[in-house]
A and B are shown apart, each in its own frame.
Chain A
Amino acid sequence: MKYDIILAGVGGQGILSIAFVIDNAALEENLFFKQAEVHGMSQRGGAVQSHLRLADTIIYSDLIPLGEADMILSVEPLETLRYFEYLKPRGAVVSSSTPYINIPDYPDLEGIFKEIRKAPVQVLVDSEKLAREAGSVRAQNMVMLGAASVFLPLKEESLKKYIQVLFERRGTQVIQTNLKAFELGRQNALSGR
């Protein structure tokens, strides 16, 4: 088994938090994993991505070769498109439909959706709406993780366990909000399949 994921978003949207949960769930389930991430200047409101690889045998490259990703998991629709060339022909796109507009030339949103819909398997999630419903607009990353969980080769309970670990220090309220965000994202993807 091998499962390669491109995580995408804008600096500050919390894609490294998604990675934390998947990494630790993978370790819990005795899988090998490698996850290359971006730090430093690129985090200042710029495009960020992370290559996350899961497998039941040793993984060599920290980077995913082009055309080999099983999934693009993105917290922002324009960022989803940026990494299309990494996706396998039958790979899944799990993307937020909520734009993060911090550039003057942000393209037409409908045009972006039209491109995303060209992928053979895609789930577009209104992450902002679901995160608000869960209790915090900041929980969009966990909404997207929930939506992706439908495809991931990881148990739902392993993921939830590490969402709790991730937000442990921020108190019960924050943990509950993020678990709910995960659940809403998951239900959204399940109902859309």
Chain B
Amino acid sequence: MEKVVLLGDEAVALAAIQAGLTAAYSYPGTPASEIMEYLIRNSDNGRKYLAKWCVNEKVACEEALGVSFAGKRAMVSFKHVGLNVAADPFINSAITGANGGLVVVVADDPGMHSSQDEQDSRYYADFARILCLEPANHQEAYDMTREAFDLSERFGIPVMIRLVTRLAHSRSSVQPREPRGQNQGWKYGSWQDWTLLPSNARRRFKILLDKQKDLREYSENCPYNQLHLNQSGSRLGVVVSGIGYNYFREVSDLLPYPTSYLKVSVYPFPENKMRQLIDRVDEILVIEEGYPFIEKFMRGVVGLPGKIIRGKMDGSLPPTGELTPDLVAKALGLTGKTGLKVGDFKLAGRPPQLCAGCPHADTFKALNEALIDFPAANVFSDIGCYTLGALPPYNAVKTCVCMGASVSMAKGGAEAGIYPSVAVIGDSTFAHSGITPLLDAVFSDTDMTVIILDNGTVAMTGAQPSFGTGEPLDRLIVGLGVDQNHFKVIVPLPKNHKDNVKIIREELAHHGLSVIIARRECIQIVGEKKRS
């Protein structure tokens, strides 16, 4: 087979296809979106396998679990915070176990390029007590994903693939292997295993714990976990994982002596190999992207008497943000090069901003004007392009926490006495996690105003389909029980500004629940349609 040029995300997707994937599910989120984009593009409209965007990550994870139950191979993919949303089915899928291979791909975002935190998904794999594979490069992303499906069926557990932004969004060539067909004729999972009544769950949890020995043994002997011991005199040993391996190898030839190192790619990590390394050296440097996961285990409570452990916890490497080859070189005692300097010239920053002609901009202008009469108001917001409304020139929103939190926080805020309490949320974010808190607000007829910015797409992540847009969204709002007298639809355009301000002001003044949909198509979509 010929080599192909792929993003790290796409290498995972291609591997899943060639591992006999039956169905894949996801919700868009940087840096994981390109996995599903690739799967959809190559699915021949679902004739080869099914690849679907879902309403949220929890739903995606449960749908994948249903496929596994049926004896087929399934993959679910999302960004790190998406796993928070899917945590319930994820953790319990380790208890039910997998029938058909179940692979959970999580793309972490160290440095928070497009995220609210930089949580490390390896903790989730450890928490669920399942295997986690962490590729360092594109070929490994392909190979490990192929293997993950086999491992899932061999051990009867879901298997996590952990990516980070720099691999997910890096492109390189990949050598694919012969594809495997889909599972055929497998039995469904048994009800005793999959019905987590306490009596079954206790038995299943014990089975999961009993499997840990097998998982550790696999990790110990797995060729992805590589121990390189050098006979020479160096007293420094290095533990590297994931993309940290790349930065180490980038500069390791510059070290004045050959250095022993352990490359960790499979968790639970290989304890014996780690002990072998520790026995050989006096000082250990741990280079891992994300939290100091391995380092923390190594240090334990009492540390390693007579050994020095360095990493993110002692400041050898920064505890936050992404690693770089320069940071790793410095931690290894190498002096990096420096490039040209731009004298005293002041480089103006260029932060992301709403596009020219963006409908959100018109909504924010109208909202800001309507709020002039209400100095004690607060606008809670959410995850999407419109979070940029927090920045100048709008300065329109005051919170952004997690998917759907605008509606629930506005309710809590209203109940704490904030008036007017406003939620601003996009259509897809509303479908993802805004419906349930709105139902809550309907039930209490909370004195708050929810503004749904309906641009018909998941704009920030590259225009994936939205599940709650247009006329069906209107029916959904009414169906939830929102008073039709306080449900308004506006079109955010400069020519409608005056009318829109008036409508928003009236609903802010109303003491009870109001919902306003600001509906106009994303300007990027309009542009795409014109070009094609």
Measured CB to CB, the nearest residue on chain B to A45 is: B353
Interface locus among B97-105, B332-340, B448-456: B332-340
In the complex, what's the smallest C-beta–C-beta distance from B11 to chain A, in angstroms? 12
- Determine whether the beta carbon of A37 is less than 8 Å from that of B348: no
In this assembly, does B173 line the interface, its C-beta being within 8 Å of a C-beta of chain A?
yes
Whether the pair A36, B170 counts as a contact (CB closer than 8 A) is: yes
Contact A10 B350 (CB under 8 A): yes
Any A CB within 8 A of the CB of B369 = no
Answer whether residue B221 sits at the interface, using C-beta atoms and an 8 A cutoff: no
Q: Bound complex: CA of A41 vs CA of B400, how far in Å?
A: 14
Contact in complex: A69, B350 (CB < 8 Å)? no
Among B172, B339, B462, point to the contact of A85 (Cβ < 8 A): B339
- Per-position 1/0 for A89-130, Cβ under 8 A of B: 101000000000011011100011001001100000000000
Mask: chain B, 325-362; 1 = CB below 8 Å from A; 0 = not: 11001000000111111110111111111110000000
A65 to B327, CA, bound (A): 9
With an 8 A cutoff between CB atoms, is A185 at the interface? no
Are the C-beta atoms of A11 and B352 separated by less than 8 Å? yes
Q: Is A63 within 8 A of B325, CB to CB?
A: yes
Given the interface pairs A60-B246, A61-B247, A105-B348, the reply to whether A23 lies near B5 with Cβ below 8 Å is yes
Complex: A59 Cα to B250 Cα, angstroms: 8
Q: Mark A60-99, 1 if CB is under 8 A from B, else 0.
A: 1111111111000000001101101111110100000000
* Inter-subunit contact B348/A62 (CB<8 Å): no
- Do A40 and B166 have beta carbons less than 8 Å apart? no
Question: How far, in Å, is B524 (CB) from chain A's closest CB?
Answer: 9
Contacts A42-B352, A45-B353: A62 and B166 contacting too (C-beta < 8 A)?
yes
Q: How far is the CB of A26 from chain B (nearest CB, A)?
A: 9
Given A63-B324, A85-B340, A107-B346: A39 touches B166 (CB 8 Å cut-off): no
**B31 CB–A CB distance under 8 Å:** yes
DSSP majority for the A interface? Answer: mixed
Q: Report whether B114 and A42 are in contact in the complex, using a CB–CB cutoff of 8 Å.
A: yes
Closest beta carbon of chain A to B134's beta carbon, Å: 15
Q: Is A68 within 8 A of B166, CB to CB? A: no
Q: Is the CB of A115 within 8 A of B343?
A: yes
- Tell me the A11-36 residues at the B interface (CB within 8 Å): 11, 19, 23-24, 27, 32-36
A43 CB-CB contact with B under 8 Å = yes
Contact B171 A35 (CB under 8 A): yes
Distance (Å) between the CB of B526 and the closest chain A CB?
14
Q: Could you say which residues of chain B place their CB within 8 Å of the CB of A118?
A: 340, 343
- Determine the residue in chain A with the shortest Cβ distance to B168: A39
Shortest CB distance B348–A (Å): 5
A32 to B175, CA, bound (A): 12
Q: Which residues of A contact B246 (CB under 8 A)?
A: 60-62
Q: How far is the CB of A59 from chain B (nearest CB, A)?
A: 8
CB atoms of B340 and A84 under 8 A apart: yes
Within 8 Å of chain A (Cβ to Cβ): is B431?
Answer: no
Closest to B6 in A: A23
Q: How many A-B residue pairs have CB under 8 A?
A: 157
- Bound: A38/B30 CA distance, A: 10
> Do A115 and B337 touch across chains, with their CB atoms under 8 A apart?
no
Task: Judge whether B17 is part of the interface by a CB distance below 8 angstroms.
Answer: no
B167, A62: Cβ atoms closer than 8 Å: yes
A44 interface residue per 8 A CB criterion: yes
- Determine whether the beta carbon of A44 is less than 8 Å from that of B30: no
Whether B170 lies near A103 (C-beta < 8 A) is no
Closest residue of chain A to B353, judged by CB? A45
Tell me whether A192 is interfacial, beta carbon within 8 Å. no
Find out whether the CB atom of B30 lies under 8 angstroms from the CB atom of A66: no
Q: Report the separation of the CA atoms of residues A36 and B326 in the bound assembly, to the nearest whole angstrom.
A: 16
Q: How far is the CA of A36 from the CA of B167 in the complex (A)?
A: 8
A-side contacts of B351, CB under 8 Å = 46
Q: Given the complex, which residues of A lie within 8 Å of B172, measured CB to CB?
A: 32-35, 59
**Shortest CB distance B116–A (Å):** 11
Contact A44–B166 (Cβ < 8 Å): no
B350 engages A33 (CB within 8 Å)? no
Q: Which of B172, B246, B324, B351 has the most CB of A within 10 A?
A: B172
Which residues of A sit under 8 angstroms from B249, Cβ to Cβ? Answer: 60-61
Identity of the chain A residue whose Cβ is nearest the Cβ of B247 in the assembled complex:
A61
| A11-B352, A40-B460, A62-B246 known; A85+B338 contact, CB < 8 A | yes
Quick check: is B529 within 8 A (CB to CB) of the other chain?
no
The reply on A166 being an interface residue by CB < 8 A is: no
Q: Which of B169-219 contact A (CB under 8 A)?
A: 169-173
Q: How far does the alpha carbon of A152 sit from the alpha carbon of B342 in the complex, in Å? A: 25
The answer to whether B5 and A38 touch across the interface, beta carbons within 8 angstroms, is no
Whether the pair B339, A27 counts as a contact (CB closer than 8 A) is: no
A residues in contact with B114, CB < 8 Å: 39-42
Residues of A within 8 A of B349 (CB): 47, 103
CB proximity of A103 to chain B, nearest CB, Å: 6
**A11, A38, A64, A81: which contacts B347 (Cβ < 8 A)?**
A81
Contact with A along B232-254 (1 / 0, CB 8 A): 00000000000101110111000
Residues of A with C-beta under 8 A to B498: none
Given A84-B342, A88-B339, A106-B348, answer yes or no on A23-B171 (Cβ-Cβ < 8 Å): yes
CB of B385 closer than 8 Å to a CB of A: yes
Chain A residues within 8 Å of B348, by CB? 78, 103, 105-107
CB under 8 Å from chain A, chain B span 1-51: 3, 5, 30-31, 33-34
Contact A36 B166, beta carbon cutoff 8 Å = yes
Quick one: closest A residue to B337, CB to CB?
A67
B346 partner residues in chain A, CB cutoff 8 A: 107
Q: How far is the CA of A79 from the CA of B462 in the complex (A)?
A: 23
Query: 12 interchain pairs (CB within 8 A)?
Result: A23-B5, A40-B30, A45-B355, A61-B246, A61-B249, A63-B324, A65-B324, A66-B337, A66-B339, A68-B339, A78-B348, A89-B339
Please report B residues at the A interface, Cβ cutoff 8 Å.
3, 5, 30-31, 33-34, 113-114, 166-167, 169-173, 243, 245-247, 249-251, 324-326, 329, 336-343, 345-355, 385, 388, 460-462
User: Which 8 A-B pairs have CB atoms at the shortest separation, nearest pair first?
Assistant: A67-B337, A40-B30, A40-B114, A46-B352, A61-B250, A67-B339, A60-B249, A44-B352
Give 9 A-B pairs besides A47-B349, A60-B249, A85-B340 with Cβ atoms closer than 8 angstroms.
Answer: A19-B171, A35-B170, A37-B171, A40-B31, A61-B325, A62-B243, A85-B341, A106-B348, A119-B340
